[in-house]
């Protein structure tokens, strides 16, 4: 288990930075309270929690890069022990990114698979895929990119996505781990770092002599620098993201920007659930009318809503 600081201050943010000498953008993500709130609302096996934690980091990286008022969604779908993992991000209008996530799996199949010591991402099984969706609302076109889920880690799968769909040179690291506290309490930490060539300039500039190998050499050097990052650096809330960015890339001309705060939030409510029930087909509503109670559970926040048939199908206030 990764040794982490027990420092208790809430740290949930993304630090954007830029390597001015190479026209490359980056992000450092630190999730403490947010990761804990998302993960501990469920009773998932640790391997599923690690995958969910890394997915939170990946969505925080990518969601804060977009300028829109809708929702950015990551979905992993498979036919293995884990069938679905979903994380989404939405800005709240006041500069704070709101996030949530959940997983669906066969618990017995997960435990059996883990006996074979497979990596967490392999829990989705063969033929799995990853989808990124940008949903800007009902009046805007919805964008979705879907690629096969390839690689031994979620980071490797994300890099495959960038190579296939975006064709923008990218390298990144993701990490998530539990922190055991006194009295058996468990908190979670998740973090990551990404650097990416800018799409408009093509990334690293060629020298005057136009050596065609220059880009590869320089990009590979930056990748090697990023890969020196330890999980403990990504997960320790006492290591501020500015310090990490400067340690790695101080020779490249690092320019940091304001951090982007994040928090856990789920927009579900009793009224929204009631509206959903009232939007069901009449056949479904008639069947529910015969039940003593109607119980609806939110997959994201695990909140349970209980209605009598009379409460469910009267007009919402």
Domain co-membership, 47 together with 156: yes
d(CA 59, CA 56): 5
Q: Identify the pLDDT of residue 63.
A: 93
Domain co-membership, 211 together with 276: no
Q: Identify the pLDDT of residue 168.
A: 83
Q: Identify the pLDDT of residue 312.
A: 87
Domain co-membership, 186 together with 284: no
Q: Identify the pLDDT of residue 188.
A: 96
Token pair in block for residue 189: 């930490």
Report if residue 2 sits inside a domain: no
* CA distances from residue 119 to 5, 28, 49, 151, 290 in whole angstroms, order as listed: 25, 24, 13, 10, 46
Domain co-membership, 149 together with 288: no
Domain co-membership, 254 together with 291: no
Domain boundary (225, 244, 264) is at 264
Q: Identify the pLDDT of residue 204.
A: 38
Strand partners of residue 192? 29, 174
Q: Identify the pLDDT of residue 199.
A: 60
Domain co-membership, 163 together with 279: no
Domain co-membership, 206 together with 304: no
Report if residue 1 sits inside a domain: no
Domain co-membership, 82 together with 97: yes
Report if residue 3 sits inside a domain: no
d(CA 263, CA 280): 32
Residue 194's CATH number: 3.55.30.10
> pTM above 0.75?
yes
- Name residues whose C-beta falls within 8 Å of residue 24's C-beta, 6 or more positions apart in sequence: 18, 195, 196, 197, 198, 203, 204, 222, 252
Report if residue 317 sits inside a domain: no
Domain co-membership, 120 together with 35: yes
Residue 297's CATH number: 3.90.1280.10
How many domains are contained in the chain?
Answer: 2
Domain co-membership, 30 together with 148: yes
Report if residue 205 sits inside a domain: yes
Domain co-membership, 24 together with 53: yes
Report if residue 5 sits inside a domain: no
Strand 97-105 and strand 294-297: pairing?
Answer: unpaired
d(CA 43, CA 84): 16
Report if residue 7 sits inside a domain: no
d(CA 191, CA 99): 14
d(CA 91, CA 35): 17
Q: Could you read off the pLDDT tens digit of each residue along the chain, which spans 317 residues?
A: 444 444 445 689 999 999 987 889 999 999 999 999 999 999 999 999 999 999 999 999 999 988 877 899 999 999 999 999 999 999 987 889 999 999 999 999 999 998 888 889 999 999 999 999 998 876 777 888 899 999 999 999 999 888 887 778 899 999 999 998 888 889 999 999 999 987 654 433 433 444 444 457 888 999 999 999 999 999 998 899 999 999 999 998 899 999 999 999 999 999 999 999 999 999 999 999 889 999 999 999 999 999 999 888 875 45
Q: Identify the pLDDT of residue 315.
A: 58
Task: For residue 291, give its domain range.
Answer: 270-312
Domain co-membership, 188 together with 259: yes
- Name residues whose C-beta falls within 8 Å of residue 164's C-beta, 6 or more positions apart in sequence: 147
């Amino acid at each position: 288990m990764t040794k982490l600081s027990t420092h208790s201050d809430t740290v949930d943010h993304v630090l954007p930075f830029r390597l001015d000498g190479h026209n490359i953008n980056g992000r450092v993500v630190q999730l403490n309270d947010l990761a804990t709130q998302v993960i501990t609302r469920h009773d998932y096996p640790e391997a599923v929690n690690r995958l969910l934690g890394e997915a939170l980091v990946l969505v925080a990286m990518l969601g804060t890069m977009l300028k829109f008022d809708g929702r950015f969604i990551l979905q992993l779908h498979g036919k293995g022990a884990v069938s679905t993992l979903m994380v989404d991000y939405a800005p709240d209008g006041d500069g704070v990114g709101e996030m949530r996530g959940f997983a669906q799996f066969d618990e017995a199949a997960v435990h059996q698979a883990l006996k074979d010591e497979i990596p967490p991402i392999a829990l989705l099984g063969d033929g799995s895929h990853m989808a990124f969706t940008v949903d800007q609302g009902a009046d805007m076109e919805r964008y979705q990119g879907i690629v096969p889920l390839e690689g031994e880690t979620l980071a490797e799968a994300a890099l495959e996505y960038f190579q296939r769909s975006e064709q923008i040179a990218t390298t990144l690291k993701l990490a998530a781990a539990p922190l055991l506290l006194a009295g058996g309490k468990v908190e979670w930490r998740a973090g990551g770092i990404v650097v990416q060539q800018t799409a408009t300039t093509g990334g690293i500039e060629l020298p005057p002599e136009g050596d065609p190998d220059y880009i590869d050499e320089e990009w590979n050097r930056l990748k090697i620098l990023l890969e020196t990052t330890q999980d403990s650096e990504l997960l320790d809330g006492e290591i501020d993201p500015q310090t990490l960015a400067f340690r790695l890339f101080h020779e490249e001309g690092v320019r940091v920007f304001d951090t982007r705060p994040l928090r856990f939030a789920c927009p579900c409510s009793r009224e929204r659930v009631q509206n959903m029930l009232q939007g069901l087909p009449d056949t479904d509503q008639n069947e529910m009318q015969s039940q003593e109670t109607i119980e609806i559970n939110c997959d994201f926040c695990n909140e349970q809503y209980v209605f009598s048939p009379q409460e469910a199908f009267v007009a919402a206030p």
